[in-house]
Amino acid sequence: MQQIPLHLIDSHFHLLAMQKKGVDITALLNEMQDLSMQALDIGTDFDDLAKRSALLSEYPSIHMSAGIGPWGVASGQIPVKQQLEGLCASLDQSKVCAIGEIGLDNHWDYGTKQSQSDLFVSQMDIASQRNLPIIIHSRESDDEISALLQGRTFSRRGIMHCFQGSKELALLAVSKGMFISFAGPITYKANIEMRDIFRAIPLDHILLETDSPYLSPVPCRGRANTPLHMVHIYEYAASLLGMDLEDLIAQIQSNFCAFLS
Ligand SMILES: [Zn+2]
């Protein structure tokens, strides 16, 4: 059966990680194009942009970001200074719409808190020098992220991606103009508080994402996630908000457009 294009937007997915998991990315990108989807392929390391940019050159509706996540300070990585130089060199070669994902992660043991924070701040500075928005990864680090956001202003509206933090952090980010993006976990039964936070965010600050290939939404759990699963996240989100699906689609389009501009 032919699917109808719904113009869905996946504001966070990882093309290379999907390829690693065995997803046929050419078939996927063609299907996304047939469905008139827009999406944002997210960088994670200092040296991944050139490769992604080559794979995506024929797909103008797939935007790209680049950045070094907190894993950049894990042991065994090359010196951070070199990584940052590599990142900036790649930003001069390929057009990106944002710096990310960048941030803090207290769940895994990546370097020290200070080294994570230094890497995050350096990249927020790069983003502001280039007038680009940021995409924040925050895992079990609400207090540290809040303290760092508190003291800054942003000329562009960033994204708190795959939001799993507190309502206080979400509202602080909103006060800084940011979008709060929700992924598959919002569909998981146990995440009652996340759903409360989602409903508390002003509609013009909401984005949705898959974070593919991770975190498949209900009813696709246990399988590799892909942006084609966005429809389940949209439908679930619309039902939580008591909105018509078409209205939510239009709202997200307008929000994503504001993020890009
Ligand atoms: Zn991600």
Residue 95 inside a domain? The answer is yes
Q: How far apart are CA 135 and CA 198, in angstroms?
A: 18
Distance in angstroms (rounded) separating the CA atoms of residues 16 and 88: 20
Measured in angstroms, how far is the CA atom of residue 1 from the centroid of ligand 1? 31
Residue with the two structure tokens 């562009």: 156
Q: Taking residues 219-231, report their average pLDDT.
A: 93
Ordered DSSP codes for 184-223: GGGGSTT-HHHHHHHHHS-GGGEEE---BTS-PPTTSTTS
pLDDT of 189 over the 70 cut: yes
In the reported structure, the alpha carbon of residue 101 is separated from the centroid of ligand 1 by a whole-number distance in angstroms of 7
Distance 135 CA to ligand 1 centre (A): 9
Residue with tokens 């980010």: 173
The boundaries of the domain holding residue 134 are 9-260
Task: Compute, in angstroms, the gap from residue 139 CA to the centroid of ligand 1.
Answer: 11
Query: How many independent structural domains does the chain possess?
Result: 1
The answer to whether 210 touches 233, Cβ cutoff 8 Å, is yes
Q: What is the pLDDT of residues 66-103, one digit of tens each?
A: 999 999 999 999 999 999 999 999 999 999 999 999 99
The answer to the question of residue 63 being in a domain is: yes
- Name residue 106's amino acid: N
Binned at pLDDT 50, 70 and 90, residue 141 comes out as: very high
Q: What is the CATH number of the domain that holds 80?
A: 3.20.20.140
Residue 162 is assigned to a structural domain of this protein: yes
pLDDT in tens, 59-73: 999 999 999 999 999
Backbone conformation region of residue 249, classed left if phi is above 0, alpha if psi is from -120 to 50, else beta: alpha
Residue 105 lies in a domain: yes
Structural domain contains residue 2? no
* Surrounding residues of ion ligand 1, Cβ less than 5 A: 211
How confident is the model over 158-181, as a mean pLDDT? Answer: 97
Q: Is residue 225 part of a domain?
A: yes
**What is the reported pTM?**
0.96
Tens digits of residue pLDDT in 109-140 = 899 999 999 999 999 999 999 999 999 999 99
